[in-house]
Structure 1
Amino acid sequence: MIDFLKKYTTKTILLLGGIVFVFNACSSDDDASNEEETTAINKLDLTQYNGDSKGVMMQAFYWDVEPIGEWYTTVETKLADWSAAGINRIWLPAPGKGQSGSFSMGYDPSDYFDVGEFEQHGTIETRFGSRAELEGLINTAHQNNIEVIADIVLGHNSGGGQQDNPYRPGDTEVYSLFNEANGNASGKFNRSYEHFHPNSIHANDAEALFFEKTDLCHDQQYVKDWLWLRDDSVANFYKDVLGFDGWRFDYVKSFAPSVVTEWNKKVGGFSVGENFDGNANTLKDWVDASGSSAFDFACFYRLEEALDRDKDLSILAESKNMLRKIYPEKAVTFIANHDTEKEENLNNRISYANKMMAHAYILTHDGYPTLFYSDYENPLFKEQLKNLIVIRNSLASGNVKILKAVKNEYIMQREGTDGNPGLILYINIGTEIASHEVTTSWKNKTLIDYSNNIKDNPSTNLSGTTTLTAPPKSFSIWSIAQ
């Protein structure tokens, strides 16, 4: 009898003259089990959903990567992890030999065809490794369903031999001779003063001059032929021989948009231009003229202003102040790159403390997001970024609708598509937890914060209304429970 009684709480047992009356005869173990079953709230299986545009690009380098000569092999070891996380493209630095030899980051191009196999400028390998290591990296990337994007520097050259230029009378400090003995050991695309500005065609083109004395003239047929028109051109060597899948065009302000248009028409592949400009309309004009995607510097600067400089999230709601708002299918968004993270740009970058909020923004909004190697491989960010990529590739679907944008709070809903519930992003830059009543498209649903920053599970009513919260100086990302 005692053993029997132990199975019941005293509240359910009444003893009268040795007779046992049992009410609601349930064991305490069963109570706990039943309570667990009725209150368990599970996330959706996100593998069943597709965002509007799956995939994220990785900038697979930073300025002055180390160790010298081993970068390609370093990146190759990361590819399986990146692919599993949802990365579908990587952007590599300019592969050709630069004037700075083993110290070159590729932005002082001397020999486009020497990708680590000719001895010149004091080295055989580039800073990143050998040609064999580059081709091995590209092959491994393809095995992991990752495309590889080459950085292409077309505006200027460096590292040639000294040469008199009759179009620069009295100026002997011109280094425009590129041949086997002068910075072009491959012997392909040898150049002279006629291929730079000024020349017999014109003094300069209509675009900005980056390195004036060795500013390539793309109106010279010889230059066009060697860069993209010949069967053995730079473009075809990179694509058909090395295996690159697309292009990141460096400093496109230094040559006409038609250069990109013609290059892409000849060799194809994904392309994005670096038009270093914070004006969204300027970026759109270049996209319209070139047909290429562009890095959304306007979005980058608005995030920097909203999170750091002005500390005012209402900036994010201003009309058409980002390329992604005007032309989302051509906007490549980012929050850091090899230039913005340099020491001299400390006052012109998104601060470390605010980076995850910025990441949450670009990985939930439209546009094609790019992650920066040093951010993704940071142990403090990596798992959060992996989770954000999963959310991006699954729930970031439907129209973008801003529900609230004030100084400290920004709430945005992706309205979802057929069968995809979408999401709500809530950013809070205040010092205390924030909450706000919103009307969603989810009626009579229990919600979960898929960013794992808030543990509460609010429910919507018949009208879709509920109160959402976000932690201080952080964010939450809401969608429906299973």
Structure 2
Amino acid sequence: MKKPIFKLLALTTALMAMYSCSNDDSANTLETAKEFKTINVTTHDGRPFDTGKKTNLSNGRYVANPGGGVMMQAFYWDVPAGGTWWNVVNSKITAWSNAGIGSIWLPPVSKAQNGPFSMGYDPTDYFDFGNFNQNGTVETRFGSKTELESLITKVHGENMQVYADIVLNHNSGGQLESNPFTGTQTYTNFTGVASGKFKRTSADFHKNALRNNDEGIFGGFPDLAHVAPNVQDWLWKRSDGVGKFYKNTMKFDGWRFDYVKGFGAWVVKDWNANVGGFSVGELWDANVNLLNDWANNANSSVFDFACYYKMNDAFDGNNLNVLNDDMMWKRNPYKAVTFVANHDTDEIWKKELAYAYILTHEGYPTIFYRDYEEWLNKTKMNNLIWIHNNKATGNTSILYTDTDEYIARRNGYNGNPGLVVYINNSNTWQERWIQTNWTNAQIKDFTGNSGWYPTTQADKWVKIQCPPNGYSIWSINM
């Protein structure tokens, strides 16, 4: 859901400067998708996924799973209107796959109240994908149903997954009706939706005969009552309902649930039990206890807002010690989806350091479209994706922190040696002796930021270095 975020012009200027200053990578020998080797896909803690087949990373394609790949948020707020966005994303799928991205997250795909101008978070008709003349348009802001289907087919053809953004808390665009539960006129009559599916009346919204309210209402929109049998049937129980139609007919592989603070975790749990597929909830809160409790109660992944705010404090607040604090990926890595920015919030300035962090640590990392396609150095981003997919295995040990430096070790798994990541938030080169898991082994920085090729000692200790305001990522030279 979109929240009002006020950005400084200086942020854009700084990002543009970062991009222009970092474009010259001719001196660096980065590991990229072109150098992929054939390995088994692993989870974020290094254990292999049971995918039923071997996966060849030589062409950058692999099966996406929580923690086993990288997700792309394939939109930003106010993407160009005019029905072109599905085609724009379609044109990028092969390149994203070649880079090692395993899944994409799309904005809400159904017709919403603001028609051709809506980002989809004010849903009217869950079954209008740009194929009905409704709310002033046939196509959605993003395109037609045919173009959406073509995009999904392209994603699957590249052995990737596609996740739908699902707004279950509220609806918009209904007609006025006399509401017996409020004694007023309310915009809760959705019996005239063009698809003719999931017709709703005031009985399906709060308050109603069943209850007055649930956990939260958003923006004054009619608040769906998930306890209502009609709502449950059409959202996740019916074979032709929203969830199963999206999964079985439209071929979505998973779900990003919007504003889950607005309804009970049992809703997502029931959806997952009846529909299946990957799921992640937007529970906008830095409290890791709340995130973990919701994820367990919903049987779902959750965006790691605790990690997001700690990274902001660490990299922009100049105190890398806070990376010792609790985060969702530390508490429950299988259910943590990490991110640096999204369509709602974009507060971290030192994004390259933040991406180096989430793409070397446990969790399911998400890349924001504009960071990848517009604002940051794509070669460096592809290098980090390669490192994530090929080296970031095993659990995590934090080796050293101070206000400016952070060093952590991924301990490897099943023959994969893991890595050591060194992040430096100071203005000068730094060096540290650290203990690895490797005996008498030559290592190198797979980012190309350091030209050192040190050999670990018999006791596994070695000296590594890191550039100013940058990062280095070390593993066995093989």
- TM-score class, shorter-chain normalisation, is 0.7 to 0.9
Question: What is the CA-CA distance between 1:278 and the residue it aligns to?
Answer: 0.6
Query: Which residue among 58, 79, 91 is the counterpart of 1:77?
Result: 91
Residue in 1 that maps onto 2:244: 236
Q: Is the 8 A contact 1:43 1:448 kept in 2?
A: no
Q: Is the 8 A contact 1:43 1:481 kept in 2?
A: no
* Structure 2, unaligned runs of 5 or more: 1-28, 47-66
Answer yes or no: is 1:397 the counterpart of 2:405: no
Q: Is the 8 A contact 1:156 1:211 kept in 2?
A: no
How do 1:291-302 residues align onto structure 2 when only pairs under 5 Å count? 291-302=299-310
How do 1:280-291 residues align onto structure 2 when only pairs under 5 Å count? 280-291=288-299
Question: 1:185 & 1:316 partners in 2: Cα distance?
Answer: 50
Residue in 2 that maps onto 1:178: 190
Query: Which residue among 255, 258, 262 is the counterpart of 2:263?
Result: 255
Answer yes or no: is 1:468 the counterpart of 2:464: yes
How do 1:67-466 residues align onto structure 2 when only pairs under 5 Å count? 67-169=81-183, 171-172=184-185, 174-180=186-192, 184-205=193-214, 207-212=215-220, 214-308=222-316, 310-318=317-325, 321-341=326-346, 349-351=347-349, 354-378=350-374, 380-466=376-462
1:143-187 superposed Cα distances (whole Å, 9 cap, x missing partner): 000111000000000011112212223x44x2111122xxx2111
Question: 2:74 & 2:223 partners in 1: Cα distance?
Answer: 28
Question: 2:269 & 2:254 partners in 1: Cα distance?
Answer: 13
The residue matched to 1:370 in structure 2 has which SS? strand
The residue matched to 2:162 in structure 1 has which SS? strand
Question: 2:258 & 2:30 partners in 1: Cα distance?
Answer: 46
Distance 1:395 1:150, change over 3 A: same
Question: 1:83 & 1:155 partners in 2: Cα distance?
Answer: 33
Distance 1:98 1:461, change over 3 A: same
Q: Is the 8 A contact 1:54 1:392 kept in 2?
A: no
Distance 1:380 1:208, change over 3 A: closer
Higher relative contact order, structure no. (Cα contacts within 8 Å, ≥ 6 residues apart): 2
Distance 1:401 1:42, change over 3 A: same
Distance 1:46 1:115, change over 3 A: closer
Q: Is the 8 A contact 1:147 1:245 kept in 2?
A: yes
Alignment-mate amino acid for residue 399 of structure 2: L
Question: 2:381 & 2:269 partners in 1: Cα distance?
Answer: 34
* Structure 1, unaligned runs of 5 or more: 1-40, 342-348
Scaled by the length of structure 1, what TM-score is found? 0.85
Q: Is the 8 A contact 2:30 2:380 kept in 1?
A: no
Alignment-mate amino acid for residue 137 of structure 1: L
Structure showing greater radius of gyration is: 1
Question: 2:279 & 2:403 partners in 1: Cα distance?
Answer: 36
